[in-house]
């Protein structure tokens, strides 16, 4: 099944408040990324919002308020602090899948999505038309944060997303970013 097709729901299931839950015989708002924290904590980014679940997906809270758009792909969780998350909002399909105002920023929340802060130091602030795909953001054990772009750049932050450096460029499209955590 290709992109853009609706997923039909084939079984009986109870009512769910999540926007991607079964409804009217179909499911899906095209979940783009989901990350798991300790215990029952989940965070999700899809084509319509960013959500948090404190009960392994039984119920969801929309935590999009404060972000410049509802569309995006990546979401990452600080491995040492489950209340610290990062996402990179993009324009939706009708405006082009690049950062709002063609100015990339990583949006950081230190309180599980209740409030968001724009973090842009070291990132392109003008004429930025790249996309960051759903699996192209990762953290390491020391809470280093990395993301790659469809234009072949990789950026990293060693201070929990406060400042950024471009550590590689002119690579092919970056689909996933993964980290290797080695013992010191």
Check if the beta carbon of residue 117 is closer than 8 Å to that of residue 85. no
**110 secondary structure, DSSP code:** S
Domain CATH number, residue 129: 2.130.10.10
Residue 48 maps to a domain: yes
- Residue 105 CA to residue 109 CA, distance in Å, equals 13
Angle at 109 between CA 171 and CA 167, to 5 degrees: 20
pLDDT category at 13 given cuts 50, 70, 90 is: very low
Global pTM reads 0.80
Structure tokens at 19: 């926007």
In a domain, 82, yes or no: yes
Give first-to-last CA distance, the chain, whole Å: 44
| Number of domains forming the structure of the chain | 1
pLDDT per residue as tens digits for the range 138-176: 999 887 999 999 999 999 999 999 999 999 999 999 999
């Amino acid at each position: 099944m290709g992109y853009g097709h609706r997923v039909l729901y084939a079984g009986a299931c109870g009512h769910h408040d999540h926007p991607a839950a079964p409804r009217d015989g179909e499911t899906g708002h095209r979940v783009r990324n989901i990350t798991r924290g300790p215990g029952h904590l989940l965070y999700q980014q899809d084509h319509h919002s960013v959500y948090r679940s404190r009960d392994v997906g039984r119920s969801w809270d929309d935590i999009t308020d404060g972000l410049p758009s509802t569309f995006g792909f990546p979401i990452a969780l600080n491995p040492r602090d489950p209340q610290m998350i990062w996402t990179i909002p993009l324009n939706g399909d009708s405006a082009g899948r690049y950062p709002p105002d063609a100015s990339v920023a990583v949006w950081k929340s230190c309180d599980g999505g209740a409030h968001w802060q724009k973090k842009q130091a070291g990132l392109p602030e003008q004429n930025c038309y790249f996309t960051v795909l759903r699996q192209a953001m990762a953290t390491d054990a020391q809470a280093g944060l990395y993301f790659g772009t469809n234009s072949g750049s990789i950026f990293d932050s060693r201070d929990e997303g406060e400042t950024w450096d471009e550590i590689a460029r002119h690579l092919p499209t970056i689909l996933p970013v993964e980290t290797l955590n080695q013992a010191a």
